[in-house]
A = this chain, B = another copy of it.
Amino acid sequence: MNMHSTKQTDIQIDHILKHNQLSVTDSRKKILELFLQSNGALAHGDIEKKTGEKFDRVTVYRTLQVFMEKGIIHTIPTADNAVRYALCKDECTEGHHHDNHVHFVCNACGNTICLEEVHVPEVKLPKGFQPTEVQMIVSGICKECH
């Protein structure tokens, strides 16, 4: 039963990598799998822990870097100097991201969650400021911890 449930994910993982012209390697598969399984965003450290001794730290760095470049994941800035990463929706491409959604950081469980359905509201800037991207990070208590 475990074999069946993973199979569907495996196909998905394979597709994401090939679609982005990346060779399908163990580390990339495993890290993508982690993102797909996780309901929240992951910090570099989280991935290192979850992969254990499986891969070198350097490989994790480089994999995240490549995923970023390809638009497979996006970053979520945090106040604790530990940027989180989360999967992008399909529409995201190398240059152009479509993730103008709000992020929630739970102060209880520490989870960082993409609120895909909550759009970042517009904001009027003073004369001369030309915005290209807007990040909105809400912290508090998440649904689970409430």
A137 to B132, CA, bound (A): 11
Q: Please measure, in the bound complex, the distance between the C-alpha atom of A84 and the C-alpha atom of B35, giving whole angstroms.
A: 28
Q: Which residues of B contact A115 (CB under 8 A)?
A: 125-126, 129
Which of A23-31, A51-59, A71-79 faces chain B?
Answer: A71-79
Nearest chain B residue, comparing its CB with the CB of A108:
B130
Q: Is the CB of A131 within 8 A of B140?
A: yes
| Interface residues of A, count at CB 8 A | 40
Q: Is the CB of B130 within 8 A of A146?
A: yes
Chain A residues near B (Cβ < 8 Å): 75-83, 102, 104, 107, 115, 117-118, 120-143, 146
Extra inter-chain contacts (15) besides given A107-B132, A129-B142, CB under 8 Å: A75-B79, A79-B83, A81-B83, A115-B129, A118-B125, A118-B126, A120-B123, A129-B140, A130-B140, A130-B141, A134-B136, A134-B138, A135-B139, A136-B136, A137-B137
